[in-house]
Amino acid sequence: MSDLEIRESVVRGGIGQSPLRPDGVSKAEGSYLFSSDLSADNMLIGKTLRSPHQHARILSIDTSKALAMQGVHTVITADDVPGKPTYGLISSDQPVFAGEVVRYIGEPIAAVVADDEDICARAIAAIDVVYETLPALTDARFAADPESMEIHPDGNVIREQNVVCGDLSVVGDVIVEDRYTIGMQDQAFLGLEAALAIPDADGAGVECHVATQWLHEDLAQIAACLDLPETAIRMVLGGVGGAFGGREDISLQVHVCLLALATGRPVKMHYSRSESFLGHVHRHPAEIWMRHHATQDGRIVKIEAEFIFDGGAYASTSSAVLVNAVTHTQGPYKCDNAYVRGVAVRTNNLPCGAMRGFGVVQACFAHERQMDLLAQKCNLEPLEIRRRNAMATGDRLITGQTVESVAPVREIIAGLAAIPEPSETLHSNGHPYGLPGGAGNTTRSSDVVRGVGYGLAIKNLMYSEAFDDYSTARCRLDDGVITLKFATAEVGQGFITIAAQIARSTLGLEDVRLDPIDTGVGSAGSTSASRQTWMSGGAVEAACLKVRQLIFEHVAATTGGDAFALVIEGDTLVNTTNGQRWPMLQIVSGLVIDEEVEFRHRPTVPLDENGQGDCHTAFAFVGHRAVVDVDVELGLVRVVEIATVQDVGRALNPLSVTGQIEGGIAQGLGLALMEEIIQRDGRIMNPSFTDYLIPTIADMPPVVAQLIEIPDPQAPMGAKGVGEPPTISSTPAIISAIQNAMNRSGGADTHLTRVPIRPSDIAKAVNSNLRD
């Protein structure tokens, strides 16, 4: 075939290519409207009053002074919620406004609406709330204790879930165990929470523009609280400045709609950075004990573990996060026998819920630290112990579920081993950024020790445990132009780019337009759980396939051929029986076809009390190698390079995949080295970007990424979700590399068990004279 023929039948911007984001130019030029940029004529501003107490009874709320202020339109409290007083993703346990009791510092108590921000702030200060403080439950370890006071009518235990399988009497020749701590991480999306609610002229409904991950779930929760039919509320996606799980729960949605309906005017609410730390759920801090039993040659024979997840004051997605953690205890390794106990509890701390990696981040940190311990005990290289235990397609998990997904764990390990390590540069000669401590000029290069470490992970994709997980898409063909409609939240990940690519490849047409993202079509489910490429991508593909089938039937009817003989090659329709070819654009001229599809993944089942059942849909795998330079005297770390091999099924858009990998690794690096919300008695000590540090461009090392593209037969177009895996095992890889550097400099008897790591964790271990 000549070049010309190949070029002729290619559709530009199809899958496997990297066409540009449709919103890229407007974002680069500043004209793209984020939800915080929205405004409307006659608009008022709303603001939230939050609890200063961790646990207290509300004796009275006096809003009269605030109401009397000029420019204040109204003040609402729990008494003004017409419908359900509570909301929540899995259980509806969180009050719209605290009525009788506040359960964490930052819990909403009232909201004011006024002419401007400044009046709002003064009105908030003028609301008089009388509290009777109550003792607070701050330590998750005591929350499940029957002796502890109950802080919520639903009890302190959100969920207990064990996973028990195989022969529990098995004892390994080699046993390693430790306790691990994972700090509370923040999603720290840059675009702060914001929404604009516009009431209908007749006051019977409202339109809400909001930055969210799941419009329809918001809609259902808002409608219940407002006591309105869902048809009375229209949800429109406001430009979303990142999400990472932090926008899965309701934050200001109900408040802003209530204020708009109460005043009959458009109302905007937006959080400041410090309020944002209070206004959304975080990654669960966790305490994990893990014990691995293995043979002399390093084969895992049994795992025992215990997980305690601090869910904070309200449930959010804690129960699902816990299930993810306990069911991923083994990591991407074979294991026949396990006894795992897990509990997620309520405390009077900040509520926790979804964040990229969703429970697996915590489990992976523990199992990967354990693998390093095991390697040390068995005298094996870190990659060798992982290779010996690597799971493969067809293996049974500790839940009894068989891994049907492509599971290229051995390929990942081989890939990591094959990527050349960066050279040991002379630290003293380079730019100060090359040194741990950076431009602070604190590090002597003689104190710098290089370390190399590894992390591997398995991550479930999509929702689990019998959740009715689906996505809806509509494809309209009109005279050669395709228009797609879906409610899939574009939060930056680039679904809008691949949706168009999928349509182009499926239909052989290049002109694809996207309708606004709103609730004018069925639910797409959440932009979370690495699920939108599979679910909404699957829905777009299925809708386009229906349209394609109708095109084939139309062509068959008009040309007298057989519809089954027709295929689309690039931008050309081909009759495979006689080789006849037509440009697609010519074939669809004048045709109008409109098809809508609800796409579901295969069913899953809930876990039984022993944690058995095919609870997950599919899995993706990943590995990371970190190279670090550590100033062992000061405990400072410079990550030199991250190499990664990731199982992606098929890269629908290679540039987007790279972006997900690099961005996910940055968040994994953040958890390893710097990111932690520090609470003291339930109060955040660092609710700002001055004190809650996220990686800058100076902290991020080069990323060497290699993709494993083995199309997964169960996945639409063979493509697995790629968003979460990069975040998961990058964290333990970095800690493992630091451990390696410490071991080389004489800190071998200290096993690193905590993230984020603190300089003192390193320096204390290495400088024995500092040991306390």
Q: How far is CA 770 from the centre of its chain?
A: 39
Instruction: Name which of 586 and 688 has its Cβ closer to another protein.
Output: 688
Instruction: Name which of 318 and 667 has its Cβ closer to ligand FES.
Output: 667
Instruction: Name which of 11 and 211 has its Cβ closer to ligand FES.
Output: 211
CB of 353 to another protein, least distance (A): 18
Name which of ligand FES, another protein, none residue 192 binds, using a CB cut-off of 5 to 8 Å depending on partner kind. another protein
CB of 211 to another protein, least distance (A): 9
Name which of ligand FES, another protein, none residue 154 binds, using a CB cut-off of 5 to 8 Å depending on partner kind. none
CB of 492 to another protein, least distance (A): 3
The residue nearest ligand FES at its CB is 190
Which amino acid, 139?
D
Class of residue 592 by CB neighbours under 10 A (exposed 0-12, middle 13-18, buried 19+): exposed
Instruction: Name which of 231 and 688 has its Cβ closer to ligand FES.
Output: 688
CB of 711 to another protein, least distance (A): 23
CB of 495 to another protein, least distance (A): 11
CB of 182 to ligand FES, least distance (A): 24
Q: Which residues bind another protein (CB under 8 A)?
A: 18, 20-21, 23-25, 27-34, 36-37, 70-71, 118-119, 187-192, 239-242, 244, 272-273, 431, 433, 439, 491-494, 655-656, 658-659, 661-667, 688-690, 694-698, 700, 702-703
CB of 121 to another protein, least distance (A): 11
724: tokens are 């979460």
Name which of ligand FES, another protein, none residue 694 binds, using a CB cut-off of 5 to 8 Å depending on partner kind. another protein
SS3 for 645? strand
CA dihedral over 611, 613, 616, 621, signed as positive or negative? positive
Supply the DSSP string of 30-63, one letter for each residue: T-S-BGGG---TT-EEEEEEE-S-SSEEEEEEE-
CB of 236 to ligand FES, least distance (A): 20
| H or E element at residue 164 | strand 157-165
Instruction: Name which of 457 and 574 has its Cβ closer to another protein.
Output: 457
Q: How many residues does the chain have?
A: 772
Instruction: Name which of 190 and 567 has its Cβ closer to ligand FES.
Output: 190
Q: How far apart are CA 77 and CA 85, in angstroms?
A: 11
Half-sphere exposure of 179 (CA within 13 A, CB side): 3
SS3 for 491? coil
Say if strands 592-600 and 338-345 run parallel, antiparallel, or are unpaired. unpaired
Which of 284, 286, 189 lies closest to 246, judged by CA? 189
Residues 6+ apart with CB under 8 A from 365: 180, 182, 288, 731, 732, 735, 755
Instruction: Name which of 1 and 697 has its Cβ closer to ligand FES.
Output: 697
Which of 611, 21, 103 lies closest to 324, judged by CA? 611
Instruction: Name which of 667 and 743 has its Cβ closer to ligand FES.
Output: 667
Q: How far apart are CA 758 and CA 704, in angstroms?
A: 26
CB of 640 to another protein, least distance (A): 14
The terminus-to-terminus CA distance of the chain in angstroms comes to 74
CB of 685 to another protein, least distance (A): 16
Q: Which residues bind ligand FES (CB under 6 A)?
A: 190, 242, 492
Class of residue 227 by CB neighbours under 10 A (exposed 0-12, middle 13-18, buried 19+): exposed
CB of 589 to ligand FES, least distance (A): 40
Instruction: Name which of 301 and 703 has its Cβ closer to ligand FES.
Output: 703
Supply the DSSP string of 683-718, one letter for each residue: EES--STTTS----TTTPPPEEEEEE----TTSGGG
Say if strands 174-182 and 286-294 run parallel, antiparallel, or are unpaired. antiparallel
Instruction: Name which of 114 and 243 has its Cβ closer to ligand FES.
Output: 243
Supply the DSSP string of 394-446, one letter for each residue: TPBPTTS-B--S---HHHHHHHHHHSPPPP---GGGS-GGGSTTGGG----GG
27: tokens are 């974002």
Instruction: Name which of 477 and 498 has its Cβ closer to ligand FES.
Output: 498
SS3 for 572? strand
